[in-house]
Chain A
């Protein structure tokens, strides 16, 4: 019974996150519009875009290989699994032991490799440019993310995200200096991995600057819809991972179903707050030159590694 309800809860939670992911993106865009003194398209705009794209006929280049057509589905599946194993509302997730934080990073890497390969598939100059830049971001962002997560794992003696949340969220409040470093590194990785300013600009198609958009130029209609949805899922996944590690208060404990409504309320507040913060950050900072990006990410990587070392020096 308990197992069955756990599975049902897990499925419901991941479906919920998949459904609200475009809303998170809409909220970030709306906040940004407000800060820039624009009225903005409204927070429901991403849904309208998705709906429009799903109804269009797909246009595919003559020489597109099966890999190109399969990638949007694989990407979407990876991101769905990612949000499925993050404890968003409660820590009772029967499938969570299937993938710990290392596997989670591996999952994001898998998605990145596939989207980069799809970018190179048609053989256009923009596609390969985007793929090259995406991998340039990824090779530093991925280890930085891993080190951030390791800092949290060292504190909780576990690489399971559920156990990390339980240790950090449901024990008495302790300040971990190492987690401060990890939090800054994580924020930098979040910005880079989700193609946000200062690394990439999600709302431009300038060839000098674009990364993510360059890779997906050849996608259209339902394929593009899935890719876009997957990117909003990725953003949501990163924000919820951040919440789980650095602000886990309110997430319901295992078997505590009465805590779920509270957790839902807390989640909405935290997501709204995070989205606002992201929009603010994007408004006050400028886009970097592409070759400053490795420096930015190397800083994140070093901060995260430093966080781990500080754990050994101060806390162990």
Chain B
């Protein structure tokens, strides 16, 4: 075989097959946990790294395609790797590398009575199906692997299926995933325009009237939005993420949600192509609502993984804001500003994958060593788990969009894109864009508050829980996984220009427009989105100056004064008794927000009577969507199905009658 003629797509397919193979090997070695943990998970990590390299290659190579001799007769599978697929393969590969390393340590003592072999199979099939979603080039293969992805992740969510709550979470997840899948399927049906050919190439060529194009957009937006956790279809996220094992939550939140973003970009930019600005406005407004809602509910949580899940909702909102801005600009004929928005959205997609993966792994490390998910019982963990605390701090600063880490870069780019609003003609849209920017600024600041809460309550202060034994820090494998993602946060934050150029390739492939040459020729140090006079940012200089000033201050203080230090009890205004019960809990910390944004929440309070000898205070904050949307829909479904049930008589003659009537009806109406 000639190696020089290899193409990225061939490597990507091969690596996906290897992942499936590793999964089968895990099943075969089900009883030998050491084989699975020391060989198969690290091998899966290595495949991830190779896939990341392959994705990077695909971003810089012309699109390569392949027809696989699989699938149905006359309906082979088409696969294709272009710049967009390459970017998402890079994301999948590099993030899963860290998560697989972590898994190798995480599942170490979980594997006694739980079926580790089955877990290994589902885990790797999940990875492979995500890779195949990203390279699928016909609607048929896309739907098959999309469903495989949903099912394998469903089984992963219900790994601990003995708990009723986890089974319920899995059910909600599966339900919303299928609603989304039906909508995506219909969207492909509209897109193919009656040609009978479901390859993406045919869908691209199909001519649609604006009405049908809008229908296709709406269906795709709903379908992929359901998978991404967009408002109001977010309900499965905060249920499914806490139920799944932590590395799986990291994969689902970090990577799987991003396949929905991939699908959205693929269908809207590539398959439909002719973008209308009204669609962009829809995406923009949904994005703004999603991001604000997500962070407001995140602030109300005390279950760490639930909180992180709500933050995924928020970040999907931020990504949608970037993409929505891009669609508004492109739809109104300003492709350069549109490219900036798209790059901001895609950059945030990658950033969110990296820092949310890291944060979920950190939550997993805490869960494994203390058995706690409830923030109100943690506290002071920085003293027992210094490594985890450091990595978690990196993730927390990154998600709070603080310079010089990566979350800031993508928010900065999104702001820059929204500041291009003056070029828009429609004054309504022009004034909506700043409002969206204001919402983005608000949710960014609220995220900062939420992570001060998480970090302060979990890692700082005194521990609140009676510790049976001192919590251990994360093991070597776990640390390696977190270190990798923390380095990713730093690298993406400090060297953004490199990624900007790569993302520019993606947008050239998608929209045939590029950032102005001034933006790309500014050197590796200076991030310049449009022109140096408009805006520039250099995280490297930023970091170096702060480091230099901090070092200088330290040296000067030590040189001219002294370094004497005495340890004593905390001062606390002279109060001698200080117990951990006097610290803020996670709920206490969120109280100002509950107060300010009270109308957003549905709050149930139980306040005891003053003369109650054993007073119990209870407060629950619930999501209003359950009451005005999900439960009515569920009741309606039950009502309809109870009536449809009357059709089922259980006698074969009745069913034959139905067939007969249908046949007659078809003969009458369809000719």
Chain A positions near chain B (C-beta within 8 angstroms): 54-55, 57-63, 65, 67, 73-74, 76-78, 80-81, 84, 95, 97-100, 102-103, 106-107, 109-110, 112-113, 116-117, 119-129, 131-133, 135-136, 138-140, 142-143, 146-147, 150, 153-154, 157-160, 163, 205, 207, 217-218, 220, 222, 226, 291, 294, 298, 301, 304-305, 308-309, 312-313, 316
B527-567 contact mask (Cβ, 8 Å, vs A): 1 or 0: 00000111111100110011101100110010011101111
Closest A residue to B403 using CB positions: A106
Q: Are A78 and B445 in contact (CB under 8 A)?
A: no
User: At the interface, yes or no: B582 with Cβ under 8 Å from chain A?
Assistant: yes
B362-388 contact mask (Cβ, 8 Å, vs A): 1 or 0: 000000000000000001101100000
Which one of B397, B416, B460 lies within 8 Å of A65 (CB-CB)?
Answer: B460
Among B438, B451, B593: residue with most chain A CB under 10 A: B438
Which one of B412, B445, B537, B538 lies within 8 Å of A138 (CB-CB)?
Answer: B445
Q: Are A121 and B584 in contact (CB under 8 A)?
A: no
Q: Chain A residues with Cβ under 8 A from B546's Cβ? A: 74, 77-78, 81
- A106-B402, A139-B448, A226-B553 are known; give 14 further A-B pairs, CB within 8 A: A60-B565, A63-B383, A97-B537, A98-B536, A98-B538, A113-B448, A121-B461, A135-B449, A136-B449, A139-B442, A207-B573, A291-B592, A291-B595, A308-B434
Q: Chain B residues with Cβ under 8 A from A308's Cβ? A: 434, 437-438
Q: Are A140 and B564 in contact (CB under 8 A)?
A: no
Q: Give A170 Cβ to nearest chain B Cβ, in Å.
A: 14
Q: Give A58 Cβ to nearest chain B Cβ, in Å.
A: 5
Q: Are A309 and B578 in contact (CB under 8 A)?
A: no
Q: Are B537 and A98 in contact (CB under 8 A)?
A: yes
User: At the interface, yes or no: B290 with Cβ under 8 Å from chain A?
Assistant: no
Task: Knowing A139-B449, A305-B434 are in contact, say whether A128-B419 is a contact too (CB < 8 A).
Answer: no
Task: Tell me the total A-B contact number using a CB cutoff of 8 A.
Answer: 273
Q: Are B460 and A120 in contact (CB under 8 A)?
A: yes
A60 to B448, CA, bound (A): 27
**Could you tell me which residues of chain B, from 394 to 440, have a CB within 8 Å of some CB in chain A?**
397, 400-403, 408, 411-412, 415-416, 419, 421-422, 427, 430-431, 434-435, 437-438
Question: What are 26 sample pairs from A and B whose C-beta atoms fall under 8 A apart?
Answer: A59-B566, A60-B565, A95-B545, A98-B537, A112-B448, A113-B400, A113-B448, A117-B455, A120-B457, A124-B583, A135-B453, A135-B589, A135-B592, A139-B449, A140-B445, A142-B441, A143-B445, A157-B422, A157-B534, A163-B533, A217-B572, A301-B438, A305-B434, A308-B434, A312-B427, A312-B434
A57 to B427, CA, bound (A): 62
Q: Give B399 Cβ to nearest chain A Cβ, in Å.
A: 11
Q: Are A100 and B422 in contact (CB under 8 A)?
A: no
Task: Knowing A139-B446, A222-B557 are in contact, say whether A61-B438 is a contact too (CB < 8 A).
Answer: no
Q: Are A128 and B434 in contact (CB under 8 A)?
A: no
Q: Are B415 and A73 in contact (CB under 8 A)?
A: no
Which one of B434, B445, B566 lies within 8 Å of A309 (CB-CB)?
Answer: B434
Closest B residue to A290 using CB positions: B592
User: At the interface, yes or no: B568 with Cβ under 8 Å from chain A?
Assistant: yes
User: At the interface, yes or no: B596 with Cβ under 8 Å from chain A?
Assistant: yes
Q: Chain B residues with Cβ under 8 A from A123's Cβ? A: 379-380, 460-462, 570, 578, 580, 583
User: At the interface, yes or no: B588 with Cβ under 8 Å from chain A?
Assistant: yes
Task: Knowing A102-B412, A312-B422 are in contact, say whether A138-B461 is a contact too (CB < 8 A).
Answer: no
Q: Are A116 and B545 in contact (CB under 8 A)?
A: no
A149 to B416, CA, bound (A): 13
User: At the interface, yes or no: B332 with Cβ under 8 Å from chain A?
Assistant: no
B566-609 contact mask (Cβ, 8 Å, vs A): 1 or 0: 11111111010010101110001101110110000000000000
A263 to B372, CA, bound (A): 59
A253 to B637, CA, bound (A): 70
Closest A residue to B443 using CB positions: A143
User: At the interface, yes or no: B444 with Cβ under 8 Å from chain A?
Assistant: yes
Q: Chain B residues with Cβ under 8 A from A226's Cβ? A: 553, 557
Q: Are A218 and B570 in contact (CB under 8 A)?
A: yes
Q: Give A88 Cβ to nearest chain B Cβ, in Å.
A: 16
Q: Give B57 Cβ to nearest chain A Cβ, in Å.
A: 33
A62 to B557, CA, bound (A): 23
Among A132, A135, A147, A205: residue with most chain B CB under 10 A: A135
Among A139, A158, A220: residue with most chain B CB under 10 A: A139
Which one of A55, A131, A143, A218 lies within 8 Å of B456 (CB-CB)?
Answer: A131
Ranked nearest first, the 4 interchain pairs of A and B with the lowest CB-CB distance are A123-B461, A120-B456, A143-B441, A77-B550
Which one of B445, B456, B578, B591 lies within 8 Å of A125 (CB-CB)?
Answer: B578
Closest A residue to B557 using CB positions: A222
Task: Knowing A139-B449, A312-B427 are in contact, say whether A128-B584 is a contact too (CB < 8 A).
Answer: yes
Q: Chain A residues with Cβ under 8 A from B569's Cβ? A: 61-62
Task: Knowing A136-B592, A218-B572, A301-B442 are in contact, say whether A313-B431 is a contact too (CB < 8 A).
Answer: yes
User: At the interface, yes or no: B61 with Cβ under 8 Å from chain A?
Assistant: no
A63 to B580, CA, bound (A): 13
A129 to B379, CA, bound (A): 16
User: At the interface, yes or no: B106 with Cβ under 8 Å from chain A?
Assistant: no
User: At the interface, yes or no: B66 with Cβ under 8 Å from chain A?
Assistant: no
Q: Chain A residues with Cβ under 8 A from B416's Cβ? A: 159
Q: Chain A residues with Cβ under 8 A from B422's Cβ? A: 154, 157, 312, 316
Q: Are A294 and B438 in contact (CB under 8 A)?
A: no
Q: Give B8 Cβ to nearest chain A Cβ, in Å.
A: 36
Q: Are B541 and A95 in contact (CB under 8 A)?
A: yes
A304 to B442, CA, bound (A): 13
